[in-house]
Amino acid sequence: MVKIDPDRLMADLKRLRGFGAAGSGAAGPGASGPGVVRLALSPVDLAAREWLVGRMTDAGLDARIDGVGTVFGRSRNSGPALVIGSHTDTQPTGGWLDGAMGVIYGLEIARALAENDATRHLAVDVASWIDEEGTFSGLLGSRSFVGEAVDESIRVATNRQGERLTDVLDAAGLAGRPRARFEAGRQVAYLEPHIEQGGRLEAIGKSIGVVTTIVGLRESRLRFTGQRNHAGTTPMAIRRDAGAALVAFIARMNDAFTQLADADTVWTVGRIDLDPGSMSVVPGAADMYLQFRDANPARLQAMDHALAELVRDFNAHNAVSVELQTIDEPIEPVSMDAALAEHIARAAEAIAPGQWLRMPSGAAHDAQVIARCMPACMMFVPSIGGVSHDFIEDTAEEHIVLGCQVAATAVASMLLQLSAGHS
């Protein structure tokens, strides 16, 4: 069996955490705060990418930062090659493992295979895709890799501070560099290891999740239009209160979605805006931003229909009107490759018998994009308390190490089988 080096794995993860360490205890470069702020293409992110290029080069990979900011380490072996990747950019209040763990797994697995006589000929490429978290344009690195036409996205993208992506790439010296692209015939499979970012594994005492599907999602804005008026002089009976209408609508929506949902269906009203937002004014307009996710395309469609019917019924019976607007194109669920998932399941059963399960991913990942061009799979390790996208995000070190050993064993199995098929 291929053996990873746990000390080397953890040292690299902790060193990467030092780039942008934040939260209680963090005090500057090299700090050890529990969280990380490493927004895509920020100075600290670029420094982390340069460090990662060095570590990949030390591991014998041909590594570079490409024209959109992705770090790509290409094996010098001829292939067939398996790509292991995730992301090292974070949310504004990020955790130290979200994305980063999968990238460092790839680095450690490439080293471990190279150190084993039976596997040193196998090809593992390692990627840290740029901007998975959407600081400028979500999933940009993986979209570029699969050949999506991203030039227009790059041209118009800005961050919250109003910085243009084109200017940031130019200032970093990346504009015009070649972009990492899928090599058909050589790159034949993709693995993305990740923290779960939820609490299911921890709740049932399991150590490994074998991902079956990455859920689809819908994002909408519902705008309620009433009439502004004085909060003290307008009787309740004649008010056209857009804020109250919004709250009432949410209650009806919750009831309707609950009737359609299973245990993995989720929906979130993540933002509400009231106009004018004054204690003394009856809101004349109110916006709610809705997202819902599910792994079942038929259920997503049923929720779409239920939402539209709720809007029609609300408009027919209320003085406040509501308009449903789609924010982004629907994202459909993406199934992970069953054959690759079976390698992960066998490795998990061999190393941690009975401590794994098959499960969907409720979060979006680069794997759903990479699956457009080659078979893709994912695996999870538990998140303590089910918390992610927060400074307190964490995973027990024993689970990090176990997950990497399972992944390395699965990768060796995948590549040996794929190599036999290509000989």
**Which residue ranges are tagged as binding site?**
87, 98, 133, 194, 389
Annotated binding site for Zn(2+): 87, 98, 133, 194, 389
- Residue 361 CB contacts under 8 Å (≥ 6 apart), including other chains: 194, 211, 213, 214, 215, 378, 380
Q: How far is CA 60 from the centre of its chain?
A: 28
Half-sphere exposure of 4 (CA within 13 A, CB side): 27
Q: With DSSP H G I counted as helix, E B as strand and the rest as coil, what are the percentages for the chain, rounded to 5?
A: 35, 25, 40
Give the tokens for residue 231: 């909060």
* Separation CA 98–CA 36 (nearest Å): 10
* Separation CA 369–CA 353 (nearest Å): 31
208 in Cβ contact with 352 (< 8 Å): yes
What CA dihedral angle connects 163, 292, 146 and 341, to 10 degrees? 130
416 in Cβ contact with 117 (< 8 Å): no
Closest CA relative to residue 365, chosen from 192, 176, 165, 180: 192
Half-sphere exposure of 52 (CA within 13 A, CB side): 39
Question: What is the Cα Rg of the chain in Å?
Answer: 24
Going by their DSSP bridges, the two strands 356-361 and 123-128 should be labelled as unpaired
Q: Which residues pair with 294 in a beta bridge?
A: 216
Going by their DSSP bridges, the two strands 376-381 and 187-195 should be labelled as parallel
220 in Cβ contact with 325 (< 8 Å): yes
- Residue 239 CB contacts under 8 Å (≥ 6 apart), including other chains: 226, 227, 229, 282
Q: Is 205 left (phi over 0), alpha (psi -120 to 50) or beta?
A: left
Half-sphere exposure of 91 (CA within 13 A, CB side): 13
